[in-house]
Structure 1
Amino acid sequence: MHNKLIALLILTSSLFAGGDAFIYRPEFHSSLLQIELETTVQDDDSTTMEKYPAKGLLYSLVLPGAGQWYAGAKLKSLAFVGVELTSILAWSNLRQKGDDVKIDFEALANLHWRLDLWYEQMFFIPDSLGISIFGSHDIQILLTDGTIIGSSEDLNGDAIPDWTTYEVDDVIRDRDFYENVGKYNQFVGGWDDILDESGNVAFEITAKSVGDSTEWLVMTVNRDTYLDL
């Protein structure tokens, strides 16, 4: 029954529509599904290719500039490719420079900031500056038994960091460590050039304006170099 109805619809459609009913007409077709059609021009017997914007769009999504090439704008296509390659090379170069700075940054701290000096050398900092090993920032200390404690931990309240009374393996050199040892006076005692080879004070105290107040910075050559990286 269904087959008979379909056949009847096709027959009546062809009768009312005439002989052009089954000719493909691209204007009634979705642009995303259209295919290239070759049409023969009778006057000069040449063949032209009809191109569809949707196809150029798809090409551009796959490869920038490919859509312009497909559309015939080859110079514009080459310009797009050139800009794309330049951007990729610039990004790669900047990323490499950033990685190099990070390596130098960490290497300097690893070489010149020592946990075993930090607590002892803080006593050379003038009390008038109000700088203490205790502060609002913390680094993590790894003990030999695998325990990790904060550098400002003082459970018995004797103003001596607990980690100084334990067997210490090393400081955990993570992102917080590399930021804190350069940025805050609290950690300045760990730099190995606080004192010179003769044991004399080798740091400088400089003033830094912070809004309506003044912050005093204890600077060593290594710390200053570290902050400049």
Structure 2
Amino acid sequence: MKSFRSTAMLVVICLFGAVHAGDAPEIPGKETLLYRQKVKSELAKAVQAEAAGSQSVPGSKSIARAVLFSAAVPGTGQLYAGAYLKAGFFLLTEIAGWAVNIHYNNLGNDKDREFRQFADEKWSEYRYWSYINYRNSQLANPKIPVYPYREVKSPFNKTWFLIDENVFGPDVVDQLRQIENDFPHFTHILPRTKTQQYYEMIGKYPEQFGNAWEDADFNEFYSGFEKRVTPYNQTYTDMRNASNHFFDIAGYGSMALLINHVISAIDAGFSTRSYNRRLLQMTYRNQYYRGELVNMLGLAINL
């Protein structure tokens, strides 16, 4: 490896760092050497810090550019600075983060479609509004006129009281919506469309929506607090929880990606500064300058 000495830098350093023998304390020889060594160390740190940040040093690299590289793609700033092991670590972390995010998002979406299909098959708005009508019929003073209904045995030998199909329709639903929250523990309004909130409520609040599951009985009172729900309701809840769990893990992957970008960008700056400092080599010796013994501090740049 070749090296050259910058004459201009050397002159500046000599003028700044020269320690006249007469300027040093008149103390024994050993302490004089320690004093000079301290001066050398302090000057070396100052010169290295200044030179390492200078773009005028041949072969030096831009810290700002390295930071931007790694902020965009973790590890690329380290590659730019020649820190190949760290570059590999940040790149592999980036790949792992994306793999976790994509994989668990796909699992979450699959489970989401699965529980929606299950709900569409096992939970019925017709049974729900029939249950509202039945509860209204049990009041001493019904809040609205009771629609005609018939008793039906479900496939699970449960009892339903379903509104006459010849009567049931949008107008009936609109009337029943007026009393939807007039019963104990009925605190929600069923959305008119099958939104995310729709699918959340029918499983989360069995006190209100539990009687509309296919394996429910209109004469039973279900409770989420007491864990008294139908098997279908429980299966549906477990499926939704699994979907949310997958999405949570995907979120952890996203968080890891963000952290990886930030840490990689910061490290790229330090790695580039270290690279620039390795280009520099400090030299030190005592020699006579204009007839006086001085400490000579030199800077060699390795190319």
TM-score by length of 2: 0.40
Between stretches 51-60 and 88-97, larger displacement belongs to 51-60
Q: Identity percentage over the alignment?
A: 26
1:63 to 2:73 alignment: yes
C-alpha distance in structure 2 between counterparts of 1:154 and 1:180, whole Å:
18
Contact 2:75–2:86 under 8 Å retained in 1: yes
Which of the two has higher C-alpha Rg? 2
Aligned residue for 1:85? Answer: 95
C-alpha distance in structure 1 between counterparts of 2:109 and 2:56, whole Å:
48
1:175 to 2:196 alignment: yes
**How many residues align structurally?**
148
| CA deviation string 1:73-114 (max 9, x = no partner) | 111101110011001110111211211121112111111111
C-alpha distance in structure 1 between counterparts of 2:196 and 2:120, whole Å:
13
C-alpha distance in structure 1 between counterparts of 2:176 and 2:55, whole Å:
69
Unpaired segments of 5 or more residues in structure 2? 1-7, 9-48, 139-168, 183-190, 240-303
Question: RMSD of the TM alignment (CA)?
Answer: 4.0
C-alpha distance in structure 2 between counterparts of 1:216 and 1:86, whole Å:
39
1:68-217 correspondence to structure 2 within 5 Å: 68-121=78-131, 123=134, 149=174, 152-154=177-179, 171-184=192-205, 185-194=207-216, 215=226, 217=228
Alpha-carbon distance change, 204 to 85 in structure 1, aligned in 2, over 3 angstroms: farther
Instruction: Flag the structure with higher helix content.
Output: 2
Q: CA deviation at 1:189?
A: 2.1
Q: CA deviation at 1:225?
A: 0.7
Unpaired segments of 5 or more residues in structure 1? 1-19, 21-26, 38-48, 128-142, 158-169, 196-200
Aligned residue for 1:50? Answer: 60
Where does structure 1 differ by over 3 angstroms across 4 or more consecutive aligned residues? 33-37, 119-124, 148-152, 203-208
1:221 to 2:231 alignment: yes
Contact 1:191–1:223 under 8 Å retained in 2: yes
Contact 1:112–1:192 under 8 Å retained in 2: yes
Alpha-carbon distance change, 111 to 207 in structure 1, aligned in 2, over 3 angstroms: closer
C-alpha distance in structure 1 between counterparts of 2:210 and 2:196, whole Å:
17
